[in-house]
A and B are shown apart, each in its own frame.
Chain A
Amino acid sequence: MRAFWHDTWGAGRGPAVRLSPATRLLAGILLFAACMLAPTARWPGAALAAAIALAWLASCRPPWRFVRAVLLLGLVVLLPYFLLIALLADGTSPTMSHATLTAAASLLLRGMSGLLVSAATLTTLRISELDEALAALPVPRAVSGILVQIVHQTALLAYETRHVAAGMAVRGASSGRLTAWRLLASLPRVWLPRVVQRADRVAAAMELRGFCGPTDHQRPRACRAWQDVLALALAATVLAATLAVRFGRLA
C-alpha cells in the first residue's frame, strides 16, 4: 500500500533541495506570505503572485502528478467562489459584476499561488528534515515534535483507514448495498476506537523514546552556506517587493 500525500515529502528534485532544511522552510514561509499579501486584484500584484509560485515550483521541481493533484484540489476549493458572482450581480450594474469577478479571480490566484508554494516547499523536505528545520528555528521543541507527529500520524491514519476499508471489502462491503451500509454504519464503532487506541499507544511510545523531551544537542544553525543566505535574502526581497506593490509604491 502506498500513501500518495505521504510519499511526496522530500520528493522534489530542484536546486532548492540543496539548501539547508531550515532555509527551505523559511524561504517557503516567506514566499507563502508574499503570495498571501500580493494585491492580486491588480495586474502587478497578480503577475507577482504567479511569478513567485512558478519560480518556486521551478526551484523545487515537485513531481508533476503531485502538482496536478494540488491544482485540482485548489480548483475544487476555490472555483465555487465564482458561483457567488451570480448571487451578487443583479444584472443592472456591469461595474458590480466586474468587481465581483475580479474579487473571485483574485481569491483564486492568491489561493492557488499559496497552495503551490506550500506544496512545493513540502516536496523539498523529508519529514526528518522538517524536524531538523524546526529545531533550527526558534520553535519550542514540544511544538516542533507535535507538528512532525501530526504529519506522521496523518499518514498512519490513512494507512489504518485503508486497512479497515480493505477488511470491509473482503467481508462483503463491496458487494451488496445492504452489507455496505451495515459495515459503513459500524465505522464509528470500529474505526474510531481503533484509531483512538492506536493514538494512545503511540503517545506512550513517544513519551518513552523522548520524542518531545529536551535533547542533548545544540540547536543547529539555520544558515549553513552562502547559498542559504542568498536564498533567504531573495525570499525576503520578494516579500518586501510584494509589500511595496501592495502599499502602492511600485504600483
Chain B
Amino acid sequence: MTVPALAFSHVSVRYDPAEPPILNDINLEVAPGEKVALLGLNGSGKTTLLIAAVGLLPHEGTISVCGLPLTREKLGEVRRRVGFLFNVPEDQLLFPKVLDDTAFALTRQGMPAAEAAAKAQATLSALGVGHLAQASLHHLSHGQKQRVALAGALVASPPLLLLDEPSAALDPPAKHALARLLADQPAAMVVASHDLDFAAALCTRFVTIEGGRIASDQADAAEVRRQWDSSA
C-alpha cells in the first residue's frame, strides 16, 4: 500500500474557540506525485488548509506527511519534506541576496556551499530568474520575488509541495512556463488557486472548498468551471 504524501483525517481548524471552525472535518489524501488543485472563493479556507498541513496552526484530527504524523516531536522532520510557497512571497525571503536565499534549504541540510550554490543557480535558471542570482531581493519586482520564493521551495526536491497562489503575480507567458515546470516535478503538489486555467494546465484533480468544507473532489476541471459559471 502506498503511503500518501499528505493525509488529512477529520481535520478541523479554528482561530478562536468561540467562533465556528475555519476548516471543518476535512478528509483528504494526496498520493505521491499527484497534483491537486485546491479551489475556492476568498476566505473559503484554502490558505488555512495549507498552513495547517505544516503545523503553523493548531488543529483537531490527524494530519500526516509522507507517513509522518504532524506532531510536535515530528514537526522538524515533516517540514523537511515540504516545500511551501506563501501567497506573499516577500514574507518567506529571508536573505538579502537571491542565491543565498535559494541555497539556504540545501546548506542547512549540510550540502557544501559551492554545490548548494550550483544547484540553487540551476533551479533559478529553470524558473527564468537565473540572471538575478546575485541581485538583492529588495530590488526585484513582485513576480520575480514570487519565482525566487518558488525556487527556494523547489530546490531541495521535497516530496510534497504546498503552493499558495503560485501564479498570482505572473504574466501569462510566465504562468504557462510555470505550469509546465511544475507538471514535470515528481513531487506531490497541492496548489491553492483562483486561477482555474493555471490549475487545469497543471493538476489532475480538483478539490473545491466552500465555507471550510470540501464541496467537491473531481478529476474534471471543466465540471468545476461549469459549477463556477452557474453560481456566478
Across the interface, do A128 and B138 meet the contact criterion of CB distance under 8 Å? no
Tally A-B pairs: CB < 8 A. 78
Across the interface, do A3 and B138 meet the contact criterion of CB distance under 8 Å? yes
Alpha-carbon distance A93/B76, docked complex (angstroms): 70
How many B residues touch the partner, as a band? Answer: 20 to 34
Alpha-carbon distance A209/B54, docked complex (angstroms): 11
Which residues of the partner chain A approach B213 to less than 8 Å between Cβ atoms?
none
Across the interface, do B92 and A128 meet the contact criterion of CB distance under 8 Å? no
Tell me whether A155 and B88 are in contact in the complex, defined as CB-CB below 8 angstroms, given that A127-B95, A128-B100 are known contacts.
no
Across the interface, do B96 and A201 meet the contact criterion of CB distance under 8 Å? no
Most chain A beta-carbon contacts within 10 A, residue among B84, B91, B92, B110:
B91
B41 at the interface (CB under 8 A from A): no
Tell me whether A155 and B79 are in contact in the complex, defined as CB-CB below 8 angstroms, given that A6-B138, A201-B86 are known contacts.
no
Which residues of the partner chain A approach B76 to less than 8 Å between Cβ atoms?
210, 213-214
Across the interface, do B94 and A205 meet the contact criterion of CB distance under 8 Å? yes
Alpha-carbon distance A202/B149, docked complex (angstroms): 13
B17 to chain A, nearest CB (A): 20
Kindly list 9 other residue pairs between chains A and B, CB separation below 8 angstroms, not including A1-B138, A152-B94, A156-B138. A127-B97, A152-B96, A205-B86, A207-B56, A209-B94, A215-B108, A216-B110, A217-B109, A217-B110
Which residues of the partner chain B approach A216 to less than 8 Å between Cβ atoms?
108-110
Those of A210-237 within 8 Å (CB) of chain B? 210-211, 213-218
Residue in B79, B97, B110, B111 whose CB lies within 8 Å of A128: B97
Across the interface, do A209 and B105 meet the contact criterion of CB distance under 8 Å? yes
Contacts from B to A (Cβ < 8 Å): 51, 54, 56, 76, 79-80, 84, 86, 88, 90-92, 94-97, 100, 104-105, 107-111, 136, 138-139, 152
B100 to chain A, nearest CB (A): 4
Alpha-carbon distance A133/B100, docked complex (angstroms): 15
Most chain A beta-carbon contacts within 10 A, residue among B88, B92, B96, B100:
B96
Tell me whether A7 and B136 are in contact in the complex, defined as CB-CB below 8 angstroms, given that A201-B88, A204-B56, A216-B110 are known contacts.
yes
Across the interface, do A209 and B104 meet the contact criterion of CB distance under 8 Å? yes
Across the interface, do B97 and A126 meet the contact criterion of CB distance under 8 Å? yes
Which residues of the partner chain A approach B51 to less than 8 Å between Cβ atoms?
204
In the complex, residue of chain A having the shortest beta-carbon distance to the beta carbon of B112: A217
A97 at the interface (CB under 8 A from B): no
Q: How many residues of A contact B (CB 8 A)?
A: 31
- The 6 A-B pairs at the shortest CB distance, nearest first, are namely A216-B110, A205-B92, A128-B100, A217-B110, A201-B91, A215-B108
Alpha-carbon distance A10/B138, docked complex (angstroms): 16
Across the interface, do B138 and A205 meet the contact criterion of CB distance under 8 Å? no
Alpha-carbon distance A9/B137, docked complex (angstroms): 14
Alpha-carbon distance A202/B88, docked complex (angstroms): 10
A159 at the interface (CB under 8 A from B): yes
Alpha-carbon distance A209/B105, docked complex (angstroms): 7
Which residues of the partner chain B approach A7 to less than 8 Å between Cβ atoms?
136
Alpha-carbon distance A206/B107, docked complex (angstroms): 15
Alpha-carbon distance A19/B139, docked complex (angstroms): 28
Across the interface, do B138 and A149 meet the contact criterion of CB distance under 8 Å? no
Alpha-carbon distance A235/B143, docked complex (angstroms): 46
Across the interface, do A6 and B96 meet the contact criterion of CB distance under 8 Å? yes
A196 at the interface (CB under 8 A from B): no
A154 to chain B, nearest CB (A): 11
